[in-house]
Amino acid sequence: MTTTAQRQVEPRYDAVAIDRKWQERWERDRIYRVEDDDPRPKWFEMTMYPYPSGDLHIGHWYAMAPSDAHARFRRMQGYNVLHPIGFDAFGLPAENAAISRGVHPYEWTMSNVENMRRQLRSLGAIYDWDREVVCCLPEYYRWNQWFFIKLYEQGLAYRAKAPVVWCPSCQTVLANEQVLNGVCERCDTTITRRDFEQWFFRITDYADELLDFDTLDDWPDKILTMQRNWIGRSEGVEIGFDISDYGLEEREIRTFTTRIDTIFGVTFIVLAPEHPLVAKLTSASKRAEVEAYVEQARAASEIDRLSAEREKTGVFIGASARNRLNNEQVPIYVADYVLTTYGTGAVMGVPAHDTRDFEFARKYRLPIRTVIAPIEWNGREPEEAHIGPGFMTNSGAYDGMTDEEGAIAIANDVERRGWGHRAVTYRLRDWLISRQRYWGTPIPMVYCNECGVQPVPESELPVLLPEDAEFRPTGESPLAINEAFVNTVCPKCGGPGRRETDTMDTFMDSSWYMLRYCTPQFDGGPFEAETAADWMPVQQYTGGAEHAVMHLLYSRFFIKSLRDMGMLDIDEPFMRLFNQGVILGSDHEKMSKSRGNVVNPDDVVGQVGADAVRCFLMFIGPWDQGGPWSDEGINGVVRWLNRVWSLVEYDARELDAHPTDPVAVRDTQRVLHRTIRKCYDDLDKFKFNTSIAALMELVNHLSRVWNDQSVDAGTWRDCIENFLLILAPIAPHVAEELWERNGHAYSVHQQAFPIWDDDLAAEEEITLVVQVNGRVRDRITVSAGIGEDDARQLALDSQRVQAHVDGKTVRNVVYVPGRLVNVVVG
RNA sequence: GCCGAAGUGGCGGAAUGGUAGACGCGCCGGUCUCAAAAACCGGUGGGAUAAUAUCCCGUGUCAGUUCGAGUCUGACCUUCGGCACCA
């Protein structure tokens, strides 16, 4: 649209040339090279590395530009800052590209990396490219394999059956992303699930320690809450229901409950559809019905199964179990609202005191027996489950106790009689590492008919990902058809062996990449211990909140396991965390190709330069909230940088030709020092939008005093110099150029961040707000040092106040020092 | 559905429980110009009013706490992030 194009404000300097000039100079002079032995205190500040999807999106800039500004700020505070970059280069999209376009995942990924490197350089960040990490390269992923073997040796890696999403038509494993409304995205076939032997890491061994956030200096509370809920620690009792009548190897059904006090209210037992006892206990007459139900449950997603809204379904399996506390036989059902992955995969149904059990009992006409009497219970069957406290009833010897007392007494008795024991369960599940994919790290294990599972010897690492594989679906992992890869020798006996053909989850790569940044070229191990110990832990990590639970928990687990293997002496990888928000299209919708609202940073940077884009992204709003891109909004910062340019180019000597106004000089000093203080505090806390607003106010002030010619050249030069220093981390190219034009020595990025003077920042006068009954009625300018008595008297003497007090009694006068007086009348 | 957030002018947003709307966009008016753009100067929440006097209303909705609530508490509505194979 021509109207939009006309509205675009142009920089009054050659932004593109200045970007290029300084990027080349910084590169040539290596001013951002990070030395391990630099004597300054170390500051390791990381932003989550991007997936090389092809083009750098403005969303990447939104993550990278402010984090670079913060790292630059720390650098100017005197730290030796490591602010590295890399690429999360393994993953599904590369394989999709291979299938759809016939490009090899390696070619696709590395050409994307190449393009994104160029784009990232255009940002003008302080990345030390010698420390770049690309995790699809053997020199990186060999250490994934090395770690895998270490974890295996520690007993932290194990194999077990686990379901994968399966498309029966494509004969392939699907990622959740490839399933839309329960059908395969490629062929619309309804998906099901299949059990595969897969590798897991025992993250649950660390569940309790992962709940300890005490040493994390500064993580957002919401992330800690999400992690806490994700881990989901529950204390309760594991108790068996007797099924010895069936003559099975299993003599009981183990259930987990957090409400053992309600055990006398059990009127049924529910098994998860995947529970191994389902097949064994189902009676002949029920078999067909139960099998059909189990098959149907395999197609349902967990989100649907756990939905409280969805109608509960289940099938009676034609068997019963005995509640040992009251010797009652209760029917056994299979129902998909019970999951195998939580607790024991079996629950005791207590409809009177559990909402889901209540719904289930209503639907299948099962008895509902109150055993915890609410305070004013009328003795009738309740209208809904009573979750709250009460007194034990219908519970034999425990009647009359409170529910809390009952829970303790029953747990003690259950333990004494050997029917069960107190237990803790977690919602957190072990980390499933295996992927039936090509584009990932090969799992370095060999299967031998004689020796079983054997790790590949360290000396044979890396197990290279072969170039040729079958990306099209065959029903097996893509590597399985590669005979040369699969067939090997057993590391133990030398006989024939078969390699593991699954690859690793890409969260493996991101679990330890911060360590690789410390010593990226080291080839004696994943990292060189002493140097890594100097840098680690990461002082500040920034990235999207979408990684709140998975990546951030995996990484915490990983570091703790390395610590326990003696490789590191830290408990946590990331001391501080900040989550930026999401940048939206100018239509306030999520950016997507289909909506056509995607902003290409190359285009904008080519028009207005990197600094205007950086400034605008930081100015949109609070970084953690994200916000919409705006083609018009960016005019504001372009215009501002233009004004900055003019202001700095003025010849300060002109000022000395005019008489100075001492009040204007004092005001100007105050504005400058308040700006320094404000920016120092705000940049520290990632509050870029208000820092830039404060800098704009300073520029507005300087424009006024230039027009008035009311300050002396010395005051002016002091303002300009400090202003450029504060601008440097935000707009590094323009700041550098103006620093040079202003006659200062290269480089502005090797200067210290300015410090304010509290006396110069102080206000001499304040506005005293006077309220009557909380409503503002007057504002009085008073000396900043005014005393309480004087303030109260001034307030009461105000004519505007008296007009509102007139005829009423003054009941109270509230005084807030330096701010307001509130006269309460009635 | 569950877990976690967020709702303030036409728009993005600012505001240690104490002057709601800083800063910017957009818009309106002016200066400059043959004219336009740019630049610069001024105005800009709604209503009553001749008024930049004064008063009333106003931070998603409804209650509550408080001398005082955008901010704290509870319930609800809407939008967004995550839900274990997207990364």
Q: What does the mean pLDDT of chain A come to?
A: 93
**In terms of CATH architecture, what is A2-141+523-584?**
3-Layer(aba) Sandwich (3.40)
Torsion of CA A746, A749, A750, A755, to 10 degrees: 120
Integer Cα distance of A442 and A430 in angstroms: 20
Domain topology for A233-426: Isoleucyl-tRNA Synthetase; domain 2 (3.90.740)
Domain topology for A765-825: Ubiquitin-like (UB roll) (3.10.20)
Q: What is the pLDDT at residue A6? A: 42
Measure A771 CA to B19 C1' (Å).
10
Q: Which two tokens stand for residue A362?
A: 């209503």
Measure A307 CA to B86 C1' (Å).
23
Across all strands, nucleotide nearest A646 (CA–C1'): B39
Across all strands, nucleotide nearest A95 (CA–C1'): B86
Integer Cα distance of A584 and A813 in angstroms: 48
Contact A515, A527 (CB under 8 A): yes
Q: Within chain A, which residues score under 70 in pLDDT? A: 1-7
Measure A587 CA to B60 C1' (Å).
21
SS3 content of chain A, % helix, strand, coil (to 5): 45, 20, 35
The residue whose CA lies nearest the C1' of nucleotide B37 is A6
The residue whose CA lies nearest the C1' of nucleotide B67 is A824
Measure A816 CA to B17 C1' (Å).
12
In three-state secondary structure terms, A247 is coil
Q: What is the pLDDT at residue A160? A: 95
DSSP state of A91: S
Across all strands, nucleotide nearest A818 (CA–C1'): B18
For residue A520, is the peptide bond before it cis, meaning its omega torsion is within 30 degrees of 0? no
Query: Which positions of chain B lie under 7 Å from any protein Cβ?
Result: 1-6, 11-16, 18-20, 22-26, 37-41, 54-56, 67-69, 80-87
For residue A691, is the peptide bond before it cis, meaning its omega torsion is within 30 degrees of 0? no
CB atoms within 10 A of CB A299: 15
Integer Cα distance of A345 and A706 in angstroms: 76
Torsion of CA A208, A211, A217, A223, to 10 degrees: 150
Pairing label, strands A540-544, A577-580: parallel
Measure A799 CA to B53 C1' (Å).
14
Q: What is the pLDDT at residue A306? A: 80
Q: Where are the domains of chain A?
A: 2-141+523-584, 233-426, 630-761, 765-825
Q: What is the pLDDT at residue A388? A: 83
Q: What is the pLDDT at residue A7? A: 62
Integer Cα distance of A702 and A679 in angstroms: 17
What b/e string do you get for A366-402 counting C-beta neighbours within 10 Å, with b at 16 or more? bebbbbbbeeeeeeeeeeebbeeebbbbebeebeebe
The residue whose CA lies nearest the C1' of nucleotide B19 is A769
The residue whose CA lies nearest the C1' of nucleotide B13 is A621
User: Is residue A566 left, alpha or beta, with left meaning phi > 0 and alpha meaning psi from -120 to 50?
Assistant: left
Mention the CATH class of domain A630-761.
Answer: mainly alpha
Contact A565, A155 (CB under 8 A): no
Contact A636, A615 (CB under 8 A): no
Q: What is the pLDDT at residue A446? A: 98
Q: What is the pLDDT at residue A431? A: 96
Of the candidates A770, A766, A824, A821, the residue with the CA atom closest to the CA atom of residue A800: A770
DSSP state of A186: T
Q: What is the pLDDT at residue A504? A: 97
Measure A824 CA to B65 C1' (Å).
18
Q: What is the pLDDT at residue A4? A: 38
Query: What's CA A539's distance to the chain center, in Å?
Result: 16
Measure A354 CA to B51 C1' (Å).
68
Measure A625 CA to B6 C1' (Å).
8
Torsion of CA A388, A393, A397, A402, to 10 degrees: 30
The residue whose CA lies nearest the C1' of nucleotide B15 is A690
